[in-house]
Chains A and B, each alone.
Chain A
Amino acid sequence: MRIQIGKSRSADCIAAAREASQEALRGADAPTFALVLCTDQYDAVALASAVRDQLGAIPWAGCCAAGVFAGTELLLQGLVIALFRGDDFRVGVGMGGPVSVSPRAAGRAAVAEAVGRLPPKPPGYRRTLFVLPDALSGNSTEVVRGAQQEAGAGIRWAGGGAGNNLRFVKTAQFMQGHAYEDQVVVIAFDAREPFGVGIQHGWSPYGPPSQVTKARGSTAVELDYERAFDVYRHTAESRGDALDARSFPRFAMTHPLGIPQANGEFVIRDPLSVEPDGSVRFIAEVPDGSLVRVMEGRRRDLLDAAGSAATLAREATSGTLGGAVVFDCVSRYLVLGEGVREELSRFQDALGEEVPLVGCLTLGEVGAMGGGVPQFHNKTAVVVALPG
């Protein structure tokens, strides 16, 4: 398996599609599949049409994101296309939705369709699923659970929430040459060698544990029987940080919530806003009864985590790599700023200089941290190392 990447910074759909496609297709023989990632400035329908024109019969799928990158080059406006070629893998694509109505059913339907489109799995082949839900429309945690219920165990999971540059208006999912909203796209790979997946975030506890005493989906209403925001504020104050509702978004950006895992890891929940009743809304579900921690992330830890994720991925597959796909949380870019380029370098360095790398800045990430069933994460980097 080998991927070949093309990119374009053009704001024009047709030009962007043409430039990226031509670059990716250059010298490529018999591509099997194309992963298409774009930023949110494009008219999704027009772009899908243009890419369809360029790629012809090549199956493709993807999503819209806050930023895309090829190698270490970050494009805050642009399009990247990764052509997958080789005879050591099969691809199937499926879609389910609307996720705003029944996220779990959407996840199941997308997996069922994607797996259903795969030819019979040859013996020894390992399956990997990329899950790309519309993170602005519904409960992505439930989407992932639905996907897991349909697919079962023994599968490598990766993916990220389609999003935009935190304007949170709308996002797009692409499948079979068309653009959609409020859907989840699943790309299923059966490959002779396993995909390596590494998932790390670099966040560590900042405050004392607080019990979630009242939660409603992705909103923590009460922590320790107090309004969630008050607990956030006390925690900040105990560390000498003043906090009010206005300054909360900035503080929250660097202080997400961590849900402890048995293996000592934390699943990160990214706060979005303080509601009028003092509750705090997160990007994904906050489990009732758990002892959560307010987390912090130092720049060095985040960068180290990026490297660790890439290393884990690299180590999880054997032989040379045919490429890598990275789903990196957009909020890490917001935290790191221009330092995100260093994060991309960490990915590239850990994977190897020659490994073609493609990725996007996502709104939530999908992966099984430390193994087991997949979960929906925030502020996390998911690196998929493709066997060569």
Chain B
Amino acid sequence: MADPDADHKLTEERLALLSVLQELTVAALDLLNPYKPADDFLDRVAERLGCAVALWLQPDARGQVGLLGASGLSSASRQLPIPALPPRPGPPGPPRVDLPYPELASPGLVRWSVPIDDAGAPSSMLLLYFDREPHLPRQYRGMVERLGGVLHTALVHRQLFARTLDSERALQHERDFSSAVLDTARALVIVLDPQGRIVRFNRACQEVTGYSFEELRGARFWTRLLPPDEAARVEAHFAVLASGRGFEQYENDWVTREGERRLIAWSSNVLRGESGAIEYVISTGIDITEHRRAEQERDQTFQREQQARARAEQQEGRSALLAEASGLLTGSLAPEDALRSVAELTVERFADWCAVDLLDGGHSFQRIAEARSDVLRATAPTRMYCALPDLEAPHGPGRVLRLGEPEFCPEGCASMSLGCVRDGQGLSEVVEFQSWISVPLLAREHALGALTLARMKGGDRYGPADFALAQELARRAAMALDNARLYQQAQLAVGLRDEFLSIASHELKTPVTSLQLSVQGLMRLARAGALRTAPVESVTHSLEVIERQAKRMAKLVNTLLDVSRIHAGRLELEFEEVDLAALVRDVAARFAPELATSGTRLQLHADTAMPGVWDRSRLDQIVTNLLSNAIKYGEGRPIEVRVAGDAVTARLEVRDQGIGIPAERHTRIFRAFERAVSSRHYGGLGLGLHIVNQLVERLGGSVRVESEAGQGATFTVELPRRGPHAAAPAEPNARLGP
């Protein structure tokens, strides 16, 4: 008969066994997770089985035993190293090592050793230590071994899982490392698939563009990062690159989030898969925006420095040219020769062609210098000819001579204006110049001529500084020319003065001699006491001679005083109403003896009164001088004097038929000390017409001469009838020189 207590006990034992196995099996599931320590499981084993110590030893492939988990070991014990597994012949089996743990040194410890089978490798081992022989039902040995099977499965999974995790960690580490390398790199790295979609976009790319990788992931790069005007070209370029051909080095612009363009220098490569197909295009770029900008700035700076240096050198050249030219101009009193030297100097330093044209007073001019550089001469080995300027030309030196204004053609103007041609292949062709300058030679606001410079094609074109130099050169040349001319005029004036002094001395000496003779005759009579006895006619004659010569001297002196007053501006006029016709008639009457003496017939047309507001004595002087001249140079032929006019102007005409005045002397006869004929043949100071001219101007009128050599002369005086202030001042008919 069954024992109910025994049955109950057996049932409870089975239940406990089942419970422990069940609990530990569930707990073993946690071992599948390699992150969970095996200690927890072994704690459970020790708690349920009543172990003092539970160990799980795991040898590795090199035979080194490790502690996979433990319960009942102090933290100090866990630090103790386990001795290496001694080599053991035969198949792999449980490790047999001497464990160093003091917990295992207690006397009476009972050990259960459970191998955890692991085919092909040294077996791991579950070791359970009890304080004494455990009072456990015998089935627990089997249960523990069964548990070993569970642990084996768990261990395999744990190791597999651990290897998987290790692989993933290694892979992730590799990825992280790659990312870190990419992100650490200062270079831009972008990885694209063959369709141009962004696969990777490193930190440098993000910093340059302002876009995050997530914003651009999967986008075709040319749609987001390229300026629209470059997108199509870059897309086509990428297609070639992604097909395994094309350029590996190139530059293009990226546009940042802020819209700024950045110039990137790229180096690209393709990454092929195992099949050889291109899987990725990897581009490494450097942002060279600043570098390129710096390069450009450096180039510009260099160019500026070069230009500045060239300008300085040019300026230095110009200064040297000016200095040398000035030396040439000031060192010579022959300005034409100096200008020729200047022209030669100019083509040597500053031009390929240089011409100097000088006006000669009227509307004519003369080319006094033309110089050509060796280069220019080399272009025209046969013959080259430069025409004289056309004063009617719209451009060129002719225009400059005409207007007295400079003309500057920096580049591209017609060279025809300069008039140079050379023999070409059968035809003459215009010599083409790159640029030219033509400047007037201005002195005291008068154009004396023109200086023209030109440079050939292929050389430097003229700039504003060159234009200024040409003007300065022209100014100095004009000044030298003017000075030379003034000097010549001064020399001439000195000569005229000397001649005048000689004439004046002679004119004064003649009456003085006559006076002296008459006085000496009377003195002799007086000393001899014969004065009272001398015939009255003889004494009277001597006295008449003395009076006539005294008057003649007085007249000469008055003439000189008039000229002096006029030049000193001290000539005072007394205006009153005067009848020109009556005055002419009076003067004519006064000249009756002289007319008679010279046998000259005077035809007087002054019947109609011609009153006006004038200075009577000066008007008298004008008429006297003109009539005196006509008698003097009229060679005894008839003289015609006519008074005419209208309500405004009175006109006096004095015509003789004498020796006449050559045309080229017309302007000179009104100057002081000038005369149209030699003083040896005609006496007088030569101041008569000069005084006439000055007085007519003061009266507000004008005087002109019409004459030809040998054909007589007609002097016409026109005077405003209401005085000099009633009409605009009349233009003098000729200038008295500069």
Contact = CB atoms under 8 A, between A and B. Distances in A.
Q: Do A and B come from one complex?
A: yes
Interface of A: 108, 112, 145, 148-154, 205, 209, 211, 259-264, 267, 287-293, 368-373, 375
A371 B17 CA distance: 18
Given A149-B39, A152-B103, A292 B19 contact: yes
Contacts of A267: 47
A261 B48 CA distance: 5
B15 A209 contact: yes
A261 B75 contact: no
B13 A148 contact: no
A371 B50 contact: yes
Interface string B47-91: 111111100000000000000000111111100000000000000
Given A260-B12, A260-B19, 4 more contacts: A263-B134, A264-B13, A290-B26, A369-B50
Nearest to B46: A373
Interface of B: 12-13, 15-20, 22-27, 39-40, 43-44, 46-53, 71-77, 101-104, 106, 129-132, 134-137, 140
A209 B11 CA distance: 11
Nearest to A145: B43
Contacts of B49: 261-262, 372
A260 B103 contact: no
A94 to B, nearest CB: 13
A375 B46 CA distance: 10
A263 B20 CA distance: 10
B666 to A, nearest CB: 132
A372 B52 contact: yes
Given A152-B72, A262-B140, A289-B27, A373 B16 contact: no
A373 B55 CA distance: 13
6 contacts: A260-B16, A263-B50, A263-B136, A368-B50, A371-B131, A372-B51
Contacts of A370: 50, 135
Nearest to A264: B16
Contacts of A293: 15
Given A260-B16, A371-B132, A372-B52, A211 B71 contact: no
Contacts of A151: 74
B112 to A, nearest CB: 11
B19 A371 contact: no
Of B13, B47, B76, B130, chain A has the most CB atoms within 10 Å of the CB of B47
Contacts of A209: 15, 18-19
A211 B22 CA distance: 9
B52 A261 contact: no
Given A112-B75, A261-B48, A263-B134, A288 B15 contact: no
B106 A154 contact: yes
A260 B140 CA distance: 13
Given A112-B75, A262-B16, A371-B132, A153 B50 contact: no
A369 B19 CA distance: 17
A151 B71 CA distance: 10
The 7 closest A-B CB pairs, nearest first, are A289-B26, A152-B74, A291-B19, A153-B72, A290-B23, A372-B50, A260-B16
Contacts of A369: 50
Contacts of B136: 262-263
A288 B50 CA distance: 19
Nearest to A293: B15
Contacts of B134: 262-263
A290 B19 contact: yes
A289 to B, nearest CB: 3
A153 B135 contact: no
B75 A373 contact: no
Contacts of B23: 259, 287-291
Contact of B43 (A152, A153, A263, A373): A373
Given A154-B106, A262-B48, A263-B50, A291 B18 contact: yes
Nearest to A287: B23
B130 A371 contact: yes
B130 A259 contact: no
